[in-house]
Chain A
Amino acid sequence: MAQRIDVKDLNIYYSDFLAVANVEMSVDPRSVTAFIGPSGCGKSTFLRTLNRMHEVIPGAHVQGTVAMDGIDLYGADVDPVAVRRQVGMVFQRPNPFPTMSIADNVLAGIRLNNKRISKSDAEEVVETSLRAANLWNEVKDRLNRPGSGLSGGQQQRLCIARAIAVKPQVLLMDEPCSALDPISTLAIEDLIAELKSDYTIVIVTHNMQQAARVSDRTAFFNLAATGQPGRLVEIDDTSTIFSSPREQATEDYISGRFG
């Protein structure tokens, strides 16, 4: 279950303000694509258009197409709620539901569609999802305790388990490690490498080493000046981007000359 995504001529707006202009890219199935770039260049904004979370903000809208296996996610008959089910998301700060237990957090998405899931099915989903998120061994004895009692890194893996429990096609990660310590970061990076075999993964990161470590392809976003829209400068295989990028701006950013 993994799909390719093709983005064409995408312009992203907050009300009248054009935040990101003219994005054109393809994301391969069962691969990790990393978005890098300086703050405010629109990489997170663009990521959020891939599961239509962008339009949650009042006045936000897009022009252009984001196609999943040829079906435009912004097509007239497509339901944003259904899109978000197919395209899961993990956020910058871990956000398990504080009033739910660990197990209920994992089941939160499934319960939406299937209120009366049987106990054994539920247990199975909880275990497979937590195992897939490399969290099972740490929490299997306290599945009924609140998720907020876990460490930051564990909470983030719980959020990943929650996202993959509904078996999405694509998994979006918005700087998933920026709030975590190095050891937890390593755990998440390992997890990304494993999840790649089942999911199409898109990750936004501030950390270029992280992009180099985890991703197959890397996209560099930049903006000419504040007030100008962000643009996709180039996208290529990660090794190419980090060794011989086509654009000067990419090389400047990667070599630490700005950003």
Chain B
Amino acid sequence: MTVTDTLTPDASALRLALTQVDPARRRKDRFMRGLIYAAFVLAMIPLVSLIWSVLANGLGRFDLYFLTHSMRNVYGGMDAGGVYHALLGTLLITGLAALISVPIGILTAVYLVEYGSGALARSVTFFVDVMTGIPSIVAGLFAFSLFYLVVGPDSRSGFVGAVALSVLMIPIVIRSTEEMLRLVPNELREASLALGVPKWLTIIRVVLRTAVAGITTGVMIAIARVIGETAPLLITVGATDSINRDPFEGNMMTLPVYVYRQYAAGLVPCTPGDAACIPTINYDRAWSAALVLILVVMLLNLVARGVSRWFAPKTRA
């Protein structure tokens, strides 16, 4: 046993015991502290580098022209082209997806919290968990197969993409809404029911009303989550260079797919001396579109946070 035996302690032995921790232990403590700080710094590197690269490479072409023009009749190394058609497509498709997901998501959450019991509720909860884990590409395959079987081979349209995004979005909406509804105190429900208000009206006027800020936040975050999805749109909506305002007919461009397509187009082989030809134009557009995409996502997140902060029910007087 190595415990310091101080049956007849003199002050110096005690001082030693009070001031000295085994140096090996101290070293290990410092070492682990260093590792943990390093882990954090390490994780910051990609974040900072990514944001820096997007800003440094994307700001160059990020202007009003870029936001208001499509890629129609843009070819080669032309100093032209923008993301208007992609921005429009992204907003239309994500909007449609939200239109599908939000009612289903909220109603399912209402079912789980207000009505759910027994085997059906348990299996819904379980399968919502399963849905959360569906890879986005599989959601795309599903939407494609569905419309392929129902509509036929020429089924690509914005709507198919919206269905794919809905598969990804619905479980997020359900989870966050469920969480918010469970926060509504039971006393409120009972007070309303005791006044003779029917249950459906109680749910709409009291429960959902109380939770509306939290639900809105959850929906915005869900939208922010799916608005950057690329893979399912790649296989269900395809791509186009022109503006398509009809989400039920024909290919549409979306921002994430635009980023990918511009990147995939690669360097332009310019004839030497051709000043009008920019070899890196496709990469430049990809970066600028990535900047637009990140700005859209950040805006959604900020608004979501704002909603939860400003419109939260005033629980404290």
Contact = CB atoms under 8 A, between A and B. Distances in A.
Interface of A: 1, 3, 68-71, 73, 77-79, 81-83, 85-86, 110, 112-114, 117, 121, 124-125, 166-167, 169
B20 A82 contact: yes
B120 interface: no
B3 interface: yes
B18 A3 contact: no
A172 to B, nearest CB: 16
B11 interface: yes
B3 A71 contact: no
Contact of A125 (B1, B19, B20): B1
Contact of B21 (A1, A68, A82): A82
Contact of B6 (A77, A79, A117, A169): A169
A1 B6 contact: yes
A71 B14 contact: yes
Contacts of A73: 18
Contacts of A69: 9, 11, 14
A160 B2 CA distance: 20
Interface string B1-40: 1111111010100110111111001000000000000000
Given A69-B14, A166-B3, 4 more contacts: A71-B14, A110-B3, A113-B3, A121-B1
A79 B11 contact: no
A79 B21 contact: yes
A112 B25 contact: yes
Contacts of A125: 1
B20 A79 contact: yes
Q: Which of B1, B4, B20 has the most CB of A within 10 A?
A: B1
Given A1-B6, A112-B25, A166-B3, A70 B11 contact: yes
Nearest to A115: B24
A1 B9 contact: yes
Given A71-B14, A121-B1, A77 B7 contact: no
B17 A82 contact: yes
Nearest to A85: B17
A71 B11 contact: yes
Nearest to A70: B11
B149 to A, nearest CB: 53
A3 B9 contact: yes
B18 A167 contact: no
B30 to A, nearest CB: 12
Contact of A83 (B4, B6, B9, B18): B18
Nearest to B6: A1
A1 B17 contact: no
Nearest to A166: B3
Contacts of A1: 5-7, 9
Given A166-B3, A167-B3, A113 B25 contact: yes
Given A70-B11, A125-B1, A82 B19 contact: yes
A38 B173 CA distance: 50
Contacts of A79: 18-21
